[in-house]
Amino acid sequence: MTARYAIYFAPDDSSELGVFGATVLRRQALCPNDWLNPQLPVRFPESANWHEQIQKPAHYGFHATIKAPFELADDQSADDLLADLTDLAKKQTAISLEGLAPVRTCRYDALAFVTQPGKLPTLAAECVTKFEKYRAPLNAADIERRDPDSLSESELASLHRYGYPYVLDDFNFHMTLSGQNNHDDNTYFEWLQKLYAAMVTKTPLLDRLCVFHQPDRQSPFLRIEECRFGS
């Protein structure tokens, strides 16, 4: 398998939102492995359950998907991808993430909105279309991994057109904090709610877009570039 790239929103590591994400997932995306001191006082009390919950989202790093992971097209370069994202970011202004909060969906726990700010899907749609030229076509295994039979008509069309089903009208901003939910146990979700309320006291901002890189499918994603808005 060749390397993959992705365009994500990831907050500044020192921001309240960034510290919250690293505390939950026990990882910063600058580092390939767990980095937080295991003796830190903020911990979910059930260690085995916690590790199981965060294993998948920690692999990707704390983020919101803007342009889902893709292999680079043969006629495109990572340098051009970074340059284009830098140019786009210069023209953007920060978006308030007021209302962002822990949400339990049918599949996972995440930070999300009851009603997402209108500027978010607009920005995401621009990135999905503008950077489509950089994406190599999906192979059959990648398509099957998305369980196409479970997708709606529009999601299936987007999977084939853009390599990811949840774009454009189906875009839903979220920052994943767990693997598959166990709906018989709310302990982890309740811990997330309390921790978020305690740690994120200011309204977060989406003020940058980041390029993440995965050298192969087994390796964790690493943040290799961040493009701050207006800079």
* CATH of the domain spanning 4-228: 3.90.1140.10
Q: Which are the contacts of 62, defined by CB distance < 8 A and separation ≥ 6?
A: 10, 11, 18, 21, 22, 24, 25, 27, 29, 175
Amino acid, single-letter form, for residue 160: H
| pLDDT exceeds cutoff 60 at 39 | no
Output the CA–CA distances (angstroms, integers) from residue 227 to 89, 93, 162, in the order listed.
6, 12, 23
Distance CA(223)–CA(35), nearest Å, equals: 15
**pTM of structure:** 0.94
Region 73-93: what's the mean pLDDT?
97
Region 12-41: what's the mean pLDDT?
81
Q: Residue 111 pairs with which residues in a beta bridge? A: 102, 175
Region 68-93: what's the mean pLDDT?
97
pLDDT, tens only, 158-173: 999 999 999 999 999 9
DSSP 204: -
Q: How confident is the model at residue 36 (pLDDT cuts 50, 70, 90)?
A: low
pLDDT, tens only, 126-136: 999 999 999 99
